[in-house]
Amino acid sequence: MRYADGPRAECEVLVAAAPRVVWELVSDIGLPARTSPELQRVEWLDGASGPVVGARFAGFNNHPKIGDWRTVSQVVECDEERAFAWAVIDVDGRFGHAVDDPAQALATWRFTLEPEGNGTRLRHSVRVGPGSSGLSSIIARMPEKEEQLIAARLAELRTGIEATLNGVKSLAETGR
């Protein structure tokens, strides 16, 4: 597995709630901060107040090995009750020159919702790259360990994805 290949992690869960209920949760940018081991809080930027394509938000993260950092994300897909996605972009130039183009994202996150029986099949995924990131910086210092580094990071991201999915499932099914 190579960084240039756009490594991915994806998990899914069946939620015993209608897609509209699940949509209200996954399109709330603050929800992952309530369940994620890494994302601590978020805030809309540039006067945005909700999920629409092009809207941007800041994410404030913490990792025991890396410390604290801020990201900026741009909503790249917002198809009500079907899909919600955002690209994390390096507008601050932390990993090289500043990037304002979602096509050069550090990572792209996505929720997809599909009606299934009386519930919703919810998938949450991340694609790493193609833009430079903390992971690509570490790989540049230890290219012989690229596959192990990617596998370790995807395992961490998968843990966060599973926590978010479990949080959505719990909230949707209990009506909170």
In the β-sheet with 39-44, what is the strand arrangement from edge to edge?
A: 8-15, 119-128, 107-116, 83-89, 67-79, 56-63, 39-44
The pLDDT assigned to 176 comes to 67
Give 28: exposed, middle or buried? Use CB within 10 Å, 0-12, 13-18, 19+. Answer: middle
Digit-coded pLDDT (tens) for 78-137: 999 999 999 999 888 888 788 899 999 999 999 999 999 999 999 999 999 998 888 888
Task: Concatenate the DSSP letters of all residues of 82-109 into one string.
Answer: TEEEEEEE-TT-TTSS----GGG-SEEE
Digit-coded pLDDT (tens) for 142-161: 999 999 999 999 999 999 99
The pLDDT assigned to 105 comes to 94
Report the distance separating Cα 152 and Cα 17, nearest Å: 33
pLDDT band with cut points at 50, 70 and 90 for residue 65: confident
Other CB atoms within a 10 A radius of the CB of residue 10 amount to: 14
At the top level of CATH, the class of 3-174 is alpha beta
State pTM to two decimals.
0.93
The pLDDT assigned to 122 comes to 98
Q: Where are the domains of the chain?
A: 3-174
